[in-house]
Amino acid sequence: MKIMVIAAHPNLNKSRANQALARELKDHIEIYFRDLYQEYPNWKIDVEKEQQLLLQYDRVVFQFPFYWYSCPPLLKKWFDDVLTFGWAFGPGGENLKGKEFMVATTTGGTERQYRSGGYNWFTISELLRPIQSTLTRCNGTYLPAFVTYNANEGTDEYLDEEAKKYAEHIQTSTRTLIH
């Protein structure tokens, strides 16, 4: 299975948690890792290039910090620009049919804070539904997210352990993830 990770962190070099996740993937040569903010510092996304890359991979992972119950703005722009009508959805928009998509996110809150009635009122799964809906509307298969909770307070050892779990999670077979 060919996997592409699209990282979207405005300051990846200053993020302990997202750096740990990215660093772990460097040991997995079969995973193609991209930093969206590094590739598009001017925010001018090369739509054709991005669409061609999507066609080359079986699974696409979106790695980002959880910002105000959503993704960072460049990733939202990427969704808006790249997942176009007639290409990703709508009449003739079948290019992503059969592709697998996954979110990998980090949050400063604890898992307990992300539960129904908790501090944030909703679970991470509930809060990620707009992204899930976008990807399923584009004929993709949305797989269970990987979440690193309490990333701000996590020790280096905790983040290294999470990174190992992350690398394993994004390579896990679809059958195992959804059953």
Domains of the chain: 3-178 (3.40.50.360)
pLDDT more than 70, % of the chain: 98
Residue with token string 């960072």:
72
pLDDT band of residue 67 (cuts 50, 70, 90) is: confident
Would the pLDDT of 109 be above 80? no
User: 71: closest CA among 118, 126, 128?
Assistant: 128
Q: Compute CA distances 154 → 13, 22, 124, 160, whole Å.
A: 17, 16, 18, 10
**35-51 pLDDT, tens per residue?**
999 999 999 999 999 99
User: 136: closest CA among 175, 97, 174?
Assistant: 97
Distance, in Å, from the CA atom of 57 to the CA atom of 9, rounded to the nearest integer, reads: 21
Residue with token string 């290409």:
87
**119-176 pLDDT, tens per residue?**
878 788 989 999 999 999 999 999 999 999 878 887 889 999 989 999 998 988 888 8
When mean pLDDT is compared across 17-31, 37-51, 107-121, the lowest value belongs to 107-121
Distance, in Å, from the CA atom of 169 to the CA atom of 73, rounded to the nearest integer, reads: 25
